Chains A and B, each alone.
Chain A
Amino acid sequence: MNFPILSIIIFLPLVGVLFILLNSGDEIKVKKTSFRVSLLTSLLVFIMSLFLWLQFDNTTKDFQFVENKKWIVDFINYRVGVDGISILFVVLTAFITPICIVATYNSVTNRTKDFFIALLVMETMMLGVFCSLDLFIFYLFFEAGLIPMFLIVGIWGGIRRVYAAFKFFLYTLFGSVFMLVAIIFIYLETGTTDIQTILSFNIDQKYQYWLWLGFFASFAVKTPMWPVHTWLPDAHVEAPTSGSVILAAILLKMAGYGFIRFSLGFFPIASAYFAPLIFALSIVAVIYTSLVALMQKDMKKLIAYSSVAHMGFVTIGIFAFNSQGIEGSIFQMISHGIVSAALFLCVGVVYDRMHTREISEYGGVVNTMPRYSVIFLVFILAGLGLPGTSGFVGEFLVLIGAFKANYLVAFFAATGVVLSACYSLWLYRRVIFGAVANDNVKLLKEINKTELATLLPLVFLTILLGVFPNIILDTISVSVENVISVYNEKLLILKQASIK
């Protein structure tokens, strides 16, 4: 296919930015036009990504829609393409961004124009991460996303926004520099930064461990894994609603995607060697952060900790090295992308009315906002993995995968399911049920149309994916099988080589 559809999808938001930059004048008018322009561009990107998904051939493991252009002479080519794993993240990103834009319109009052610019730039960076077929380009997009996110948290965030923004930026940057060294080393070792070529290359065993750790440093911070997860609750709590949504729904998924694509694909021996480490850290994340979530007084913080726990499931699934585990992790990431985004939006709905996120300030919300309570319930249940919602499929598959790999790991991971039910349901009870807590709750207005417009598509998807998981599994299965077979093949070759 000669039509550069992927590049257009990636860079279309920047065209929208240009249009927003050009309009000036009356503040309210500027806000309206920039809202329209950004919504239009992001919807266009979404439609194109859906088209991409329809055109996508899920019977082949190859990368599709590949584009290759010379960029840095004799060094790096601009290469983009998608396979069964990345295409879903592209669609997810394109789906979440318009929702964020709609959610922003009412809740952000100052510098709205700049906010839309930041969101659109962010979208380009995220799409670029999932589409790039070159390590250097991947790193470029991966890191460049820090700039708009730093500004989103720092400018439009809550009281401790400066602390949160700095922590987010420095933690992520610190992790990423090690990945940069690893990337440079891989380039010098293999002579290329082309991901497809490196995937077919057997990197010497003695280097694998260090390189794996280099990538791990970056992805562990981004996932985030215990004990480097502490930036996440701060960033989530302080970020404005749409910032939290982007962070939870997409930014965290970059790391899971990176684990599957790079850690497993490039360094099979090291991945197998370090799998117990990943399991241990993930189990700590699942159990410890669930317990921490139980004790939170702030709704956003509770959901942030639950994100850490859910991402723990994802990493367990990836390093189980079987098709159920990896498919489960991908499914879990997509599902978590939808559900956590929705939960943050739900918190945003009441926060915009009450201007507090303290759980104790709420109670009996069901009396004043019945419709909101139903929607919130759907996502709470999806979050704890109730059958029939998208949350169930991912967790279930991951647990099957984990059982195949290691009984003990599966046992501990399963306790996380129980714990997640505890903190989610308890949160729901305290906020929604019970007597009306105070006059502010009594005066709450029912959810409005804009908010419904952002939440209903998410409700629909949560249930749809819970009932028809094959929508996703069909797309990913061939690519996942390929990842696993390549992994096993390489493991075999390298093991034979080391015996000789």
Chain B
Amino acid sequence: MENLNLIYPEIFLSLLTIGLLMLGVFKKNSFNLIIRFSSIGLLLLIPVVYINNDISNELFSQNYLVDSFSIFMKILILGSSAIALFFTNEYIKNSSINQFEYPILVLTSILGMFVMVSSNNLMGLYLGIELQSLSLYVLASLNRDSIKSTEAGVKYFVLGALSSGLLLYGCSLIYGFTGSTNYYIIAKSFDANNLALLFGLVFILVGLAFKISAVPFHMWTPDVYEGSPTSVTAFFALAPKVAGMAAIIRILYVPFGNIVIEWQTILIFISVASMILGAVAAIGQSNIKRLMAYSGISHMGYALAGLVTGTKDGVASTILYVLIYVVMSIGSFVCILVMKRKNIYLENIRDLSGLSKNHPLVALSFVVILFSLAGIPPLAGFFAKFYIFMAVVKVEFYTLAVIGLVTSVISAFYYLRIIKIIYFDPSQEKFDPISSNGIKFSLAFSTLIILFYFLNPSIFTFFTNIATAAIK
């Protein structure tokens, strides 16, 4: 008999989703109630996930793992999603897209991410990805009356389906030549001389790179980020990236952990391409959501640079990077939601001018977040990059480190441009006052972590080390 205690979080999440769906269907105008229940439910799930923290356990004949790595990632997913629901609440209501499907789709996608993070089997991974992606496709086109939003949904769906197909093809190749979809068995019977297996590995990597929008599989990102309602964009930038990165870490280090050499080159290319394209392409953007899309691409490039190393340090630095990236993303999307004049949400970067006069504290926080995104010490973003490059230099990939640092200087340019608009440019009309507590709280949360991270930089490394311990 399996120990089902371990998957209580997944069970609770499913029940919560179904229950709230019922509530939404049978009770009219129940959006407020459902979004409240789902945020509280997500927060309550954190201790439920955490309670198993001292056990590294295998379920369903080693096909589902509940180890410190998956627990860390799940908590990160839950926390970031709960905060995202919290601060986008007001936006959803103001843009009159407050259908009860929004929180429910978020919940189902989180369930999918849980499966992605914990799965130790290619089929489980695929199912998790599909559950997550299908929910996200619908979320992207949540604003049914907007052409852009619909376009974003369709675009995301078509390209996402293609990448899922590639992933599935890779899985089938691996299965065909190793005889199993279980990671442990694949690791044992992987023959690096078999070309078909390497093809399978490449296809799987392509599918996963698409999910975290790494170059050259990033094409969907700017359009989807721009077209989706901002609340959904904020969600896209947080939890799915965490889950995608977790899936990549596990698949590279568990089934393919013995053949680092084989995937290293591919990953270096993806990482370098993401860093460069993310830095260069963002310079020309005038829409802040598109800019954040490119910024996210380059950040995924840095996170992947940690994985390139194939070492424990590298994994730990990537996990830390993802964590700090999530904190910074929360802050930057909150600031985007503050850009509101006369009840209209603005998206052009130029509209930010005057923020420093109207909302001096928000402006200051945004500047802190932007400097942190650019990786300027002593802010958290610098430490994240520092650990990555430390791991990279340790395995003597000097060129990669130098490229990464140079692109970080290039990307500093567009972050500085935003700061310039906030602080140096003459102010325009007044921004609307901030009424939502969710916005205030989330911004303070993100800014304070970024600003005071340097007081004790080892605070997260403890957790990331525990999480890493489960991987190798």
Q: Which among B390, B409, B454, B457 is the interface contact of A177 at CB below 8 angstroms?
A: B409
A415 to chain B, nearest CB (A): 36
Inter-chain CA distance A166–B410, complex, in Å, is 11
Within 8 A of B (CB), among A179-215: 180-181, 184-185, 187-188
Could you say which residues of chain A place their CB within 8 Å of the CB of B408?
177
Interchain CB contact under 8 A, A155 and B393: no
Q: Is A143 an interface residue (CB 8 A)?
A: yes
Interchain CB contact under 8 A, A166 and B371: no
Interchain CB contact under 8 A, A147 and B376: yes
B16 to chain A, nearest CB (A): 38
Select from chain A the residue with minimum beta-carbon distance to B390.
Answer: A184
Select from chain A the residue with minimum beta-carbon distance to B357.
Answer: A111
Interchain CB contact under 8 A, A181 and B423: no
Inter-chain CA distance A180–B390, complex, in Å, is 10
Select from chain B the residue with minimum beta-carbon distance to A188.
Answer: B394
Interchain CB contact under 8 A, B371 and A147: yes
Q: Is A262 an interface residue (CB 8 A)?
A: no
Q: Is A12 an interface residue (CB 8 A)?
A: no
Interchain CB contact under 8 A, B424 and A161: yes
Could you say which residues of chain B place their CB within 8 Å of the CB of A170?
409, 412-413, 416
Q: Is A403 an interface residue (CB 8 A)?
A: no
Interchain CB contact under 8 A, B423 and A151: yes
A side interface size, CB within 8 A: 30
Contact with A along B360-383 (1 / 0, CB 8 A): 000000000001000011100010
B448 to chain A, nearest CB (A): 14
Q: Is A265 an interface residue (CB 8 A)?
A: no
B181 to chain A, nearest CB (A): 39
Q: Which among A154, A177, A187 is the interface contact of B406 at CB below 8 angstroms?
A: A177
Could you say which residues of chain A place their CB within 8 Å of the CB of B461?
72-73
Interchain CB contact under 8 A, B405 and A150: no
Interchain CB contact under 8 A, B423 and A154: yes
Select from chain A the residue with minimum beta-carbon distance to B455.
Answer: A71
Within 8 A of A (CB), among B193-212: none
Contact with B along A59-74 (1 / 0, CB 8 A): 0000000000001110
Interchain CB contact under 8 A, B423 and A155: yes
Could you say which residues of chain A place their CB within 8 Å of the CB of B390?
184, 187-188
Q: Is A19 an interface residue (CB 8 A)?
A: no
Q: Is B248 an interface residue (CB 8 A)?
A: no
Q: Is B235 an interface residue (CB 8 A)?
A: no
Q: Is A468 an interface residue (CB 8 A)?
A: no
Inter-chain CA distance A162–B424, complex, in Å, is 8
Could you say which residues of chain B place their CB within 8 Å of the CB of A73?
458, 461
Q: Is B126 an interface residue (CB 8 A)?
A: no
Q: Is B333 an interface residue (CB 8 A)?
A: no
Contact with A along B417-444 (1 / 0, CB 8 A): 0011001100000000000000000000
Inter-chain CA distance A178–B412, complex, in Å, is 15
Q: Is A140 an interface residue (CB 8 A)?
A: yes
Could you say which residues of chain A place their CB within 8 Å of the CB of B377?
139-140, 143-144
Q: Is A169 an interface residue (CB 8 A)?
A: yes
Inter-chain CA distance A155–B353, complex, in Å, is 13
Interchain CB contact under 8 A, B424 and A180: no
Interchain CB contact under 8 A, B406 and A181: no
Given contacts A169-B416, A177-B406, contact A155 B376 (CB under 8 A): no
Given contacts A143-B376, A178-B402, A181-B393, contact A173 B412 (CB under 8 A): yes
Could you say which residues of chain A place their CB within 8 Å of the CB of B424?
154-155, 161-162, 165
Interchain CB contact under 8 A, B413 and A166: yes
Q: Is B137 an interface residue (CB 8 A)?
A: no
Majority SS at the chain A contact face? helix
Within 8 A of A (CB), among B169-212: none
B side interface size, CB within 8 A: 28
Q: Is A174 an interface residue (CB 8 A)?
A: yes
Could you say which residues of chain B place their CB within 8 Å of the CB of A185?
393
Q: Is B69 an interface residue (CB 8 A)?
A: no
Interchain CB contact under 8 A, A166 and B376: no
Could you say which residues of chain B place their CB within 8 Å of the CB of A173?
376, 409, 412
B163 to chain A, nearest CB (A): 34
Interchain CB contact under 8 A, B393 and A184: yes
Contact with B along A127-164 (1 / 0, CB 8 A): 00000000000011001101100110011000001100
Q: Is B50 an interface residue (CB 8 A)?
A: no
Could you say which residues of chain B place their CB within 8 Å of the CB of A165?
416, 420, 424
Contact with A along B449-461 (1 / 0, CB 8 A): 0000010011001
A73 to chain B, nearest CB (A): 4
Q: Is B225 an interface residue (CB 8 A)?
A: no
Could you say which residues of chain B place their CB within 8 Å of the CB of A188?
390, 393-394
Interchain CB contact under 8 A, B420 and A162: yes
B376 to chain A, nearest CB (A): 6
Inter-chain CA distance A151–B401, complex, in Å, is 29
Could you say which residues of chain A place their CB within 8 Å of the CB of B445?
none
Interchain CB contact under 8 A, A166 and B416: yes
Interchain CB contact under 8 A, B454 and A180: no
Could you say which residues of chain A place their CB within 8 Å of the CB of B454?
140
Q: Is B389 an interface residue (CB 8 A)?
A: yes
Inter-chain CA distance A72–B408, complex, in Å, is 24
Inter-chain CA distance A170–B376, complex, in Å, is 11
Interchain CB contact under 8 A, B412 and A181: no
Inter-chain CA distance A253–B28, complex, in Å, is 69
B224 to chain A, nearest CB (A): 31
Inter-chain CA distance A37–B458, complex, in Å, is 34
Could you say which residues of chain A place their CB within 8 Å of the CB of B394?
188
Inter-chain CA distance A177–B404, complex, in Å, is 10
Interchain CB contact under 8 A, A72 and B458: yes
Q: Is B398 an interface residue (CB 8 A)?
A: yes
Could you say which residues of chain A place their CB within 8 Å of the CB of B382?
140, 143
Select from chain B the residue with minimum beta-carbon distance to A156.
Answer: B424
User: Which 9 residue pairs are nearest across A and B when measured between Cβ atoms?
Assistant: A177-B405, A73-B458, A140-B377, A184-B393, A143-B377, A174-B409, A154-B424, A72-B457, A173-B409
A sample of 9 cross-chain residue pairs with beta-carbon separation below 8 angstroms, ordered by A number, consists of A72-B457, A140-B377, A151-B423, A162-B420, A165-B420, A166-B416, A178-B402, A181-B405, A185-B393
15 extra interface residue pairs, beta carbon distance < 8 Å, beyond A170-B416, A174-B409, A180-B386: A72-B457, A140-B454, A150-B419, A165-B416, A169-B412, A169-B416, A170-B409, A170-B413, A173-B376, A173-B412, A181-B393, A181-B398, A184-B390, A184-B401, A188-B393
Q: Which A residues have a C-beta under 8 Å from some C-beta of B? A: 71-73, 75, 139-140, 143-144, 146-147, 150-151, 154-155, 161-162, 165-166, 169-170, 173-174, 177-178, 180-181, 184-185, 187-188
Q: Which B residues have a C-beta under 8 Å from some C-beta of A? A: 371, 376-378, 382, 386, 389-390, 393-394, 398, 401-402, 405-406, 408-409, 412-413, 416, 419-420, 423-424, 454, 457-458, 461
